[in-house]
Amino acid sequence: MKYRDLFLYEWKHFIRSPFKIIALVLFVVAGVYGLNKGASLHEQHEREIEKIEKRASEDRQKVIDDYFITGELNPEDRPWIDYGTPFWSIWFSYVHHFKNPSPAMVYSIGQSEQFGFYKRVTFWASPYDADLAEEIANPERLQTGTLDFSFTILFLLPLVLLVLLYNLKSWESEQGFMQLILVQMPSKNIWLASRVSFYIFLLVATILALLLVGTALTPVFEHSPEAFTQMLFFCIAYLLFWAALYFIFLSGSKTVLGNTLKMSTAYLLFAFIIPASVHQVLSTQYPPNMMTDFIDVRDRQQELYNQPDSLFQAKLNELYPEILVSSVYKDSTKRGAARNRSAASLVNELKKSSLLLIEEEFEKKNAFIEGTFWFSPVSYFQNRFNTISGTHFDDYQTYRNDVQTLIDKQIRTMVLDTWNNKKIDRSGYEKYIQELEKL
């Protein structure tokens, strides 16, 4: 029997099985739905970012028109504000930092529904403010509640493969045809592998078609061409993992019922039981972080304000030694006001020291999860899909780090310009906007 004839035989077997056709159609429908969900979220993020940028641009133009062009830098209704000073000029620069969504988000939503993707950068901001980060028990948990494309691959693909393969060989064994088949084939495993290969090629073609649908929904090829190739590679690798596992069961079983039970047990074990067990152990070892260290900053902040001016000034001098040679530092009458304006820098240092403990715990959680990849393939492939789509926990950690970098830069600029008694005009204000948005 030629392998071409085997493929033709299997094709006829497939098209004559309504149950298998329906399973494949439902898989395609779920895949298209998941792709549309990812594309919709990508569009929503882009639309929100565009709206925020437009609003910030309008607010900046209003500052320029109402204050810098007119020369009236002190609003009548808020006389304590002076747009000509670094503090207020930077405060009203309306600097935002965004995590621009990757077009590959169409393939995996990942952590994008757990973390914020835009943040206004101010002296008092933090990368762990409530509008930017949300504590979850396991930063790498599977998003089983979201039917995106990665969910379709991770949980529905092995189920469809089970439906397509469950009765291979077993039916022939039950009907007593195996001896006749072995006369025409070198071995039953080669014959079985050939039949399994047909369904592998069928599913690879289906996955490829779905991935191409994703490129029609978002500009993947234009902005992230490597994401398409990587997704295809890991989807095929995931398919081959399940195909190899099911092949082992098929080659050693002689009944349809035995095949179905073994394959179903393997599916439940790898897709649900192992990830759930890992999550349970993780939750026990690393309970949800209530951000108590971050909350304690409020009390420490009040203690900071109650310190003597000499001690407060000493901390500022240590943090920014440049102010020791500034014009304001040499003028004792101006030193107090500059010191008060610089308080945000010391509060920022308090926040950063508290966040170190929180981020260390996140690192331990992630290290624990990575240590389970060798026996939890679903978790591994989920992380790979999220990484390719730019929706992995690490992507949002990088974004938070960038936010902190911009906060540090904004505070440093404000403090040094304040102590140097710098006067801000329109060009200075516009320069702040340009420079403070850059990492």
State pLDDT tens for residues 9-24: 788 888 888 999 999 9
pLDDT, greater one: 151 or 146 = 151
Higher pLDDT, 136 or 257: 257
Q: Which helix (H) or strand (E) holds 139?
A: none
Asked if 225 contacts 144 with a C-beta cutoff of 8 angstroms, the reply is: no
Structure tokens at 149: 């494309």
Q: Which of 147, 131, 121, 136 is nearest to 41 (CA)?
A: 147
Q: Alpha helix (H) ranges present in 269-328?
A: 274-285, 292-295, 297-305, 309-319
The span from the CA of 429 to the CA of 301, in Å, is 30
Q: Average pLDDT in the 398-426 region?
A: 95
Weakest mean pLDDT among 46-50, 350-354, 384-388, 389-393: 350-354
Q: What is the mean pLDDT of residues 24-43?
A: 96
What angle is formed at CA 136 by the lines to CA 271 and CA 118, rounded to 5 degrees? Answer: 115
Q: Where are the domains of the chain?
A: 1-283+378-439
pLDDT at 294: 59
> What is the C-alpha separation between 329 and 324, in angstroms, rounded?
6
Long-range contacts of the stretch 116-119 (C-beta < 8 A, 24+): 117/45, 117/48, 117/49, 117/399, 118/48, 118/49, 118/52, 119/403
CB count within 10 Å of CB 99 equals 23
CA distances 345 to 30, 123, 161, 352, Å, are: 51, 8, 58, 11
Alpha helices in 342-421 (DSSP H): 343-370, 377-389, 393-419
CA distance 89 to 69: 14
pLDDT band at 209 (very low <50, low <70, confident <90, very high): very high
144: tokens are 């089983």
Predicted structure pTM score: 0.88
Predicted local confidence at residue 166, as pLDDT: 85
Task: Output the pLDDT for position 141.
Answer: 41
Tokens standing for residue 225: 């061409």
pLDDT band with cut points at 50, 70 and 90 for residue 143: very low
Residue 175 reports pLDDT greater than 70: no
| Ordered alpha helix ranges (H), 102-187 | 149-151, 157-165, 170-175, 178-184
pLDDT of residue 135: 40
Strand spans (E) along 51-192: 96-98, 118-120
Give phi and psi for 69, each to the nearest 5. -75, -40
Query: What is the percentage of the chain residues whose pLDDT exceeds 90?
Result: 63
Looking at the DSSP bridge assignments, the partners of residue 119 are 97
Q: For 58-73, write each residue's pLDDT tens digit.
A: 999 999 999 999 988 9
